[in-house]
Chain A
Amino acid sequence: MIERTPILNFFTHLAMLFGLVLAALPIYIVFVASSHDFQTVNQVPMPLLPGDSLVENYTKVWNKSDFGTKFVNSFIVATGVTIGKIAIAAISAFSIVFFNYRLKMFCFWLIFVTLMLPLEVRIVPTYAVAANALSPVQGFLNAVFNAPATLLGLIGVGNLPQVAIALPEWNLLNSYTGLILPLVATATGTFLYRQFFMTIPAELVEAARMDGAGPLRFFRDVLLPLSKTNMAALATIMFVYAWNQYLWPLLITTRPEMTTATMQLQKLVPGPLFGQPPVWNEAMAGTLIVMLPPLLVVIFMQGYFVRGLIAADK
C-alpha cells in the first residue's frame, strides 16, 4: 500500500491526528487539573491552561499517600509477575513444542482454556487458596484416604471411621508471594512462546543434538537468546498488566505497608464524603505519578515490542 497520492496522505494524517487527540486530550486535562490549586480546579468550567501549583500538588500527594513505599511494593510485584510469567511461559512452551509425550495436546489445551478464566472469574477459590496454600493438598489427601470408607458407606456396608488429615496452615495474605504467585500463570505468554518455538527449524534442534547439547543446554544456549525480542514484548505487556492490577492486591492486602500504588490511587479519589468536595488536583497528580512507570517501560521497550510481535528476526 505504498502510493504517492497527496490527497490520501492528507486524509491518513488527519485520521492519525484525530486518534492522537482522542488519546492525548484526557491525559492533557489530567495534567492541567494537577497543576491548579484546590479552588481553581473546582471552578466551573475548569481552566484549560496549566496553573502554577504543579510542584506543590505533586510533593503533597507523594508525601501524603506514602507513594515511596507503594512504589517499591508495586515494583516488586510487577517485576516478580513479569519474570515469573516469562519463565513459566518459556519452559511450558518448550515442553509442549519440543517433546513428545502422551497428553501433550491435552496439556496445551488445558493451558489455553485458562485464557477464559481470568483472575476475576476465579477470585473466590484463588483467595481461599491464598489464605491457606496447602488446603487443596489437604483436601485431596483426605479425599484419597477416605475414599474406601466413603464408597463402603454408599453401598451401606458398616460405618468406617473417617480419617482427618490436617496440614499446617500456610498463609499468603499480606505477602509478596501472595501478591505475585496467583498472577504468574499465563496462557497468552505460553501461546506466544509456542508460536515462536514452532518457527525454529527442526534441523537446528538436530544440529544441537549432534553437537552434544542436551535439552536444557539447547534451551539455554539457543532458544532463550533467539527469543530475546519475544521476551521483551512479553515483558512489556506483562509489566503493564501487573502494575495495573487492582482487584487482587485490594483483596489480599490489609496492612498499609503491603498495598500497591494502584490501590493507593483509589484512596485519592474519594466521593464527596462527609460533604467535602473531592480534591481533584491531588487525585490527578497521583494519577500521573502512578501512570509514569508503565509509560516509561512502553517507551523504552517499544522497539523490541513491535519486532517481537510481528515476526521473528534473523
Chain B
Amino acid sequence: MADITISKVTKSYGKTEVIHGVDLSITHGEFVVILGPSGCGKSTLLRMIAGLEAITGGTIAIGGDVVNDREPRERGCAMVFQNYALYPHFTVAENIGYALKVAGVPKAERQRRIEEVARSVGLETYLDRKPGQLSGGQRQRVAMGRAMIREPKIFLFDEPLSNLDAKLRVQMRLEIRKLHQRLGVTSVFVTHDQVEAMTLADRIVVMNAGMIEQIGTPTEIYERPETLFVAGFIGSPPMNLVEVEIRAPGEAVAANVPLAIPVFPAMAAGTKAILGIRPEQIEIRPGGRHALHADFVEKLGAVQLVHGRFAGVDFIVQCPTSEPVAAGQELRFEINPEMLHLFDPASGARLKRDNLRQHASKAIAA
C-alpha cells in the first residue's frame, strides 16, 4: 500500500517557519493536487515527501512507515520536475534507464524495460536522441518515462506542465490523467494553475502561506469554499466579494444597495459579513433588481466579462456574448440567493447556513 500520512509537518529555514503544521492523508491510488499561489509552500511540502528537503517537525509516513530520515531513493517515490531535469549528455534511453543502471539491473533486462516504457510514453523512435534534440513535450515525456521505469509507489509532480505552451499543456494534462488511470499509482501533483487542479485531481489541497486552507474534491472546493482565500483563489474570473452589513433577518446592505439574503435568515442586525457572488452565477434579466454600470467589456468568445462598480466594489458579471452590452451602458441583473457565499470578515471562515439555523433556533429557545 502506498498511502501517505503527513502529520503536523513544519519546515523552517533558520528562524523563518514556512510550513506551519500541515496535516494531510492521501489514500492509496489517489490523485491529489496541491494548489496555491507562488511561495505558499506547496513545492516545499512535495520536496519533503520526496526527501529532497529535511523535515523540521512532524512526521511523514509512506505506507505506514515514517520516512523522515530516509534517503530519497529509499522512499519509493519518483519525481517529475518543472524543468524536466534530464541529463543533457545521455540519450533518451540512457535518461530513462539511469535509475535501473544505478540499481544494478542487468543490461538485457534494462533494455527491455526501457523499450516498454518508451512505448507507453510514445518515444520508441527517439531512444537514441539527446534531450537537446527534442521538443518541450517530448522532453516532458522522457521525464515521465524516467519516473515510470522504477515502478514507484508514488509519483510526485512539481509543476511539470508550466514550461509547456498552452496547447501542449492541455494534451499532457490528459496524458497524465490517462497514465494515472492505467497505473493507479498514488500521485501528488503541485501546481498554481487551478484548471490543471480541477481537471486532474481526485482531491485538491488548497494551500496559502504555509497552511492548508481546504481539502476537498474539485466540486466541493468550487461550490463550498471554506475560507475567503479559497473563494477568491478558485474560479476564473474570481468571485466578487462585497462587504455587507445585516439590516434585518434576510436583508443586508452594502454601500446603500439593499441585497436580499433569505438563505441566511438568522443573522443579527448590525453584523458585518463578506458576501461572495461568482460572476458566472449572476442572472442577467432586463428590469432586474440590480444595476451595473459597465466600465468595459472583455469578450472571450463564448462569453463576455462585464467589469463595473456595484455596491461600492469592482464587480464582474459574466454573460453570453449574445447579450448586447457595451461600455457605458447599464446592465440589469438578479442575484440568486441560493448561489451566495457568506464569510466572516474577521476569521475569513465560511458562515454555514446550518450553523446559522442552529444558532437561530437556540436564540429563539432562549
Interface residues of A (CB under 8 A from B): 201, 203-204, 206-213, 217, 221-222, 225-226, 314
Contacts and interface: CB of A to CB of B under 8 A. Distances in A.
Interface residues of B, number: 24
Given A209-B73, A211-B146, A222 B87 contact: yes
B87 A212 contact: no
B360 interface: no
A225 B130 CA distance: 14
Interface in B56-90: 71-73, 77-79, 81-83, 85-89
A226 B89 contact: yes
Given A203-B83, A207-B81, A213 B98 contact: yes
Nearest to A222: B87
B172 interface: no
B326 to A, nearest CB: 49
Interface of A is mostly: helix
B102 A206 contact: no
Contacts, number: 57
Interface string B140-172: 000000100010000000000000000000000
A113 B223 CA distance: 64
B99 interface: yes
Contacts of A208: 87, 98
B102 A212 contact: yes
5 tightest A-B CB contacts, nearest first: A212-B73, A203-B85, A207-B85, A211-B99, A212-B102
Interface centre among A211, A213, A226 (most CB of B within 10 A): A211
Contact of B81 (A203, A213, A221, A226): A203
Given A209-B52, A212-B73, A201 B102 contact: no
Given A209-B72, A210-B72, A204 B85 contact: yes
B139 to A, nearest CB: 12
Given A203-B83, A206-B52, A213 B102 contact: yes
Contacts of A314: 88, 132
B88 A210 contact: no
A203 B102 CA distance: 18
A98 B331 CA distance: 62
Given A209-B72, A211-B98, A211-B99, A204 B87 contact: yes
Contact of B102 (A204, A211, A226): A211
Contacts of A211: 73, 98-99, 102, 146, 150
Given A203-B85, A210-B77, 10 more contacts: A204-B85, A207-B87, A210-B73, A210-B99, A211-B98, A212-B103, A213-B98, A213-B102, A217-B102, A221-B87
